[in-house]
Amino acid sequence: MSQAPTLHFVPNLDSSSDFDALVVVLSVADLAEDFPGKDVAALAKTVDKKVGASLTIHHAPSVPGSRLVICYTGLLTRDVDDVRRYAEAVKPAIARANAAGAIAPLIYFPSKPTDSSYEKLVEVSLLAAYQDLYVNLQGREFNPSLETVQKLGFNAPWINQETGDNIATVVSAIEKGKRLGRDLGGPDPERMAPPKFAEYVKNAFENVPGVKLSIIEDQEVLRKEYPLLHSVARADNLVPRHHARVVRIEYTGEGEIEQTLLLAGKGVTYDCGGVDVKVGGSMHGMSRDKCGAANVAGFVLTTALLKTKNVKVIAELGVVRNSVGADSFVSDEIIVGHSGVRVRIVNTDAEGRLVLADCLSHLLIDAKQSPNPKMFSMATLTGHAVNAWGPYTALVENGPSKKLGLSRSIQEVGESWGDAFEVSSYRREDVLPGDVTHDVVQHMAGKPRGHQFAAGFLMIASGIAKHGRESTQPIPYVHLDIAPSATENMDNVNGKPTGCTVAALTAKFLL
């Protein structure tokens, strides 16, 4: 895995000779803030009113590389404004500096708003710069020179050396996790077929302290231990390069373990819908259906790189391909999951929840014997979440999680880190009773609560439902539907993978 540009806090702009462009991020209009090269910008503004109010570039001998890029966040005080205004300003600015030939841009923040919701503006801006500079894995493998920027610098008058170095450490770790998520989530169905996906994860964690990784590749073991997941993979039995994998990653921090985070990730490397085949061009982009597992892997990597103490993280990635073949699973089948719950199949294009249910069932065993467990699932699971919430990750939680205010706290932290969420409720309409032949129905076609129902299914099919508020051993559980947020602009075909949720989960549980 190639490395992202290195990140450096530059405490004194007089010592910025190693950089070749200055990107100034203004939050006040009309050049009211002080910054290096302001005299050049003021002169330019006499002939161009856009200077200081939009993205411009200037020749300024007093700044690094004589390249001065100015961007403006726009208003920050309206009800709809949040820290993402900085991200939206910095992304095109860093792209402009790169296009001008800069390979070591330095980002400068002259001032910060008094509103505490902008406290993480520097971190959010730096992560936005990395998002813009990222080049898809297959692009880099074909042409390694596509990523030209070698390092990033940053400076802000209110940040001292210790704080700046800490920001650089945290942002670098988050970006490495997000980068792994993008590298796994973006490539085509063959480059990241299940065996290659597992191999890439294994290589990413090689020699990372505190991490233990194992891969289940024996198809007979998967059939017995992950029967719902294996049902999705049945059509691939005759194609070894598409054989399913389950990747298990464990990180154990130093010291007494105070909390245990258990995450299941959906890694469907290609989803044609199975026998309920996708039609009308809707199959295009379904190689991105593995972003849940990809981002879970990224989060674990960030955890390990930060050397987080007193925490244990256990992740299971269900990596399969949902194909059509003579042995495909079909609707009306009743399959007994690892939890012992009988699942009636309604639609083979709702395969992701089957993959997750078995992984969650295995993680539940760990949760029941771990200190302070919190369980999560992450998946590009439903188009309904996109229709309901637009570009925002949907959170659906069980009773114990709601009692802790877990989803709301994730949402609040995510807001400050530019990693936004919407919270949905789990209600009685999201449970469809079974009968003598089955315990739960896999899919509820044509109903208005699609992503909530999917989360409810996961709770029942995995056995988590037995650990609700009334249980003697309640276990908090949150499902994260990242179908809206896994790629830029909700574009599964052309949008870059985002590595969404890694920043918010890191800030919530690790910092």
For residue 284, is it left (φ>0), alpha (ψ between -120 and 50) or beta? beta
Q: In sequence order, what are the residues at sequence separation of 6 or more whose Cβ sits closer than 8 angstroms to the Cβ of residue 166?
A: none
Amino acid at 28: V
In angstroms, the CA 274 to CA 255 distance is 46
Tell me, yes or no, if 353 is annotated catalytic: yes
Amino acid at 21: A
Q: What is the 3-state secondary structure (H, E, C) of 86-143?
A: HHHHHHHHHHHHHHCCCCCEEEECCCCCCCHHHCCHHHHHHHHHHHHHCCCHHHHHHC
Please pick, among 151, 202, 278, 342, the residue that the annotation labels catalytic: 278
Q: In sequence order, what are the residues at sequence separation of 6 or more whose Cβ sits closer than 8 angstroms to the Cβ of residue 500?
A: 295, 393, 419, 482, 485, 486
In angstroms, the CA 303 to CA 145 distance is 30
**Phi and psi angles of residue 500, each rounded to the nearest 5 degrees, phi first:** -55, 155
In angstroms, the CA 27 to CA 72 distance is 6
Q: Is the C-alpha dihedral spanning 489, 198, 140, 94 positive or negative? A: positive
Q: In sequence order, what are the residues at sequence separation of 6 or more whose Cβ sits closer than 8 angstroms to the Cβ of residue 73?
A: 25, 26, 27, 85, 86, 88, 89
- The H helix count followed by the E strand count for the chain is 15, 17
Question: Which uninterrupted H or E stretch holds 265?
Answer: strand 259-271
Tell me, yes or no, if 278 is annotated catalytic: yes
Please pick, among 353, 374, 449, 508, the residue that the annotation labels catalytic: 353
The neighbour count for residue 144, using CB atoms within 10 Å, is: 10
Whose CA is closest to 246, among 114, 357, 371? 357
Q: In 398-439, which ranges are E strands?
A: 421-424
In angstroms, the CA 480 to CA 511 distance is 20
Query: Which residues have a catalytic role annotated?
Result: 278, 353
